[in-house]
Amino acid sequence: MSFEQNSRRDFLKILIGATGASFVTLPLGCSQKEASKAMQRLSPSSISTLLKRQSFESAHRYIRNTQSLPQHSKEITHTCDVLIIGSGPSGLAAAYSLQKNGYSVLIVENESQSGGTGIKGSWNGISYPYGSVYFVTNEGQIKEFIEAANVQPIIAPEDAVLFNNVLYPDIWSDATISTLPINQQDKDGMKQFRDYLLIDSHIPSYPLEDKLSPEFLALDKQSGRDFLRQFHSPFTETLLNLYSKSSMGAGIDDTNAYCLLNFYRSELGKNFDALRFTFPGGMNELYAGITQTIGSDTFLYNHLAIESKNVQYGTETICITHDDHIVRIQSAYTIMAINKLTASRICKDLTTQQISAMQTIQYPPYITIHLHSDKQLFPDQYMDIWTVDTGDFCTDIICSNAMQRKPNANTSFVYSLYGALPLNKRSMLLDDVLMAEHAYDIVSKLAKTLKNGMMEHVHEIECFAWGHSVAIPSIGSHSGIAQLSRKNLGNIFFAASDNDNTSSFENAVYYGFNAAEIIGNKLRS
């Protein structure tokens, strides 16, 4: 079967098969084994498309649509020193730190597992990330966090750039730049941009200061593209536009130069002292390890926090379970380790100004597409392929085989296509037909780009939809919006990665530890 030879209608027929069902939609907790069996029942002789997404029904019902709580529901009350809402890296870091210092903690999580965007799939022994892939700092609090999880990261393999159907590794080296089929001015501009990044004083830092210096304020007020124009390198702009869409949620016309410079300095490669770290399947191994360290009794899974407020004794939070039981949690402090849009709707004490700042932050719809293949598409030594050839439909491809601790038998390969969607495509995340069609469009375009017939070896296509996983570092967002949106309110603290109006593992861990330290000091006083 070859995607190149099939029309969109033929593809949908293949998916539909004799049963009339074009795909299977599974909850996040459904195992890959169960998913595979379900797909075999639907279309045993054809490629299957598997759709997964975060739990959203209760959040839309009770938070977005403000539906009243069910009457006569069973109500449960818990008490603790600190309640943490959300079990991504910031929530896990806060919980670990507080527990280490002897405080009682509960974590409420709307999903059936911890980890936020750091969750993974598995196919034929290959672990692959649905969301976050790697990190760039392995010292200080992050090193402590990793050691507490009893896991060992691996140094992430290098990236390559697919340009004119040729792979170029070590793209920023003089040797590679000299071989690119671009003009000399473009090459010189690449080198000038690279050399600019190598000067430490040029690179702005996170976490954000309450007030930026004039130099860094100018970077916040400037788009990435406007900053890059000084280098007169169209190739640099094209490559960094892909990076910005993948890692920052929008292209360089809509993201600030501050974040672009900070993030991309860590992407130059090991030859420029830019090591990255990961685990097989991305960040999940770390989050699973720290979850085990914290202990299962700390987590209340399938619990949606719908209201949190300051009260006389501290804070009170109301949750609803997925089976419609009401849970009331009384705590001295609450840490909101969730995105600011959701936090703005469940925290009842916020000022109008802070709500406005929180709701100014934008989160693009994001779908990752995972191809299960019996043939190799790219060499295993590359973790991330930046697809200059693909234009807008795909930014990069994660090659999960390169991230395993042990090589497989070279008969199974997983490739994950990344790329944020435009803000006006959010409805696609909740529409099975639109998601399946989107997968077809992306996969068929990739097949035409590669021109090697390998796509006929794909056994399964898996999609994972993310609603609010990446905060776009929009122009001007780092000098006012971020600082106001993260401002603590009484006994309620905000500690998510988007505290700086952007998203990174390093930021998340910092703000989790920071909130835990401040609260610990208050509890001791």
Those residues whose C-beta lies under 8 Å from the C-beta of residue 64, and which sit 6 or more positions away, are: 345
Run of H or E residues at 328: strand 326-336
Per DSSP, helices labelled H in 30-173 are 32-42, 57-59, 89-100, 140-148
Q: Where are the domains of the chain?
A: 74-118+281-362+472-524, 172-268
The pair of structure tokens assigned to 434 is: 């639109």
The pair of structure tokens assigned to 481 is: 């919006």
d(CA 24, CA 76): 35
pLDDT for 72: 67
d(CA 475, CA 415): 32
Cβ–Cβ < 8 Å for 330, 312: no
pLDDT for 46: 56
Quick count: other Cβ atoms within 10 Å of Cβ 126?
19
- The dotted CATH code for 74-118+281-362+472-524 is 3.50.50.60
DSSP string, 63-94: IIS-PPPPTT--EEEEEEEEEEE--SHHHHHH
d(CA 401, CA 376): 10
Q: What confidence tens digit (pLDDT) does each residue in 304-349 have?
A: 999 999 999 999 999 999 888 999 999 999 999 999 999 999 999 8
For 391, left (φ over 0), alpha (ψ -120 to 50), or beta?
left
pTM, 2 dp? 0.90
pLDDT tens by residue, the chain, 525 residues: 232 333 433 333 334 332 233 344 444 444 333 333 333 333 333 577 889 988 877 777 767 777 777 776 778 999 999 999 999 999 999 999 999 999 999 999 999 999 999 999 999 999 999 999 999 999 999 999 999 999 999 999 999 999 999 999 999 999 999 999 999 999 999 999 999 999 999 999 999 999 999 999 999 999 999 999 999 999 999 999 999 999 999 999 999 999 999 999 999 999 999 999 999 999 999 999 999 999 999 999 999 999 999 999 999 999 999 888 999 999 999 999 999 999 999 999 899 999 999 999 999 999 999 999 998 999 989 999 999 988 778 999 999 999 999 877 778 999 999 989 999 999 999 889 998 888 888 988 888 888 777 677 888 899 999 999 999 999 999 999 999 999 999 999 999 999 999 999 999 999 999 999 999 999 998
Phi, psi of 245 (to 5 degrees): -65, -40
Cis, peptide link before residue 207, omega less than 30° from 0: yes
pLDDT for 56: 79
Q: What confidence tens digit (pLDDT) does each residue in 480-502 have?
A: 999 999 999 999 999 999 999 99
CA distances from 327 to 2, 201, 300, 319, 404 (A): 52, 50, 10, 5, 41
pLDDT for 456: 79
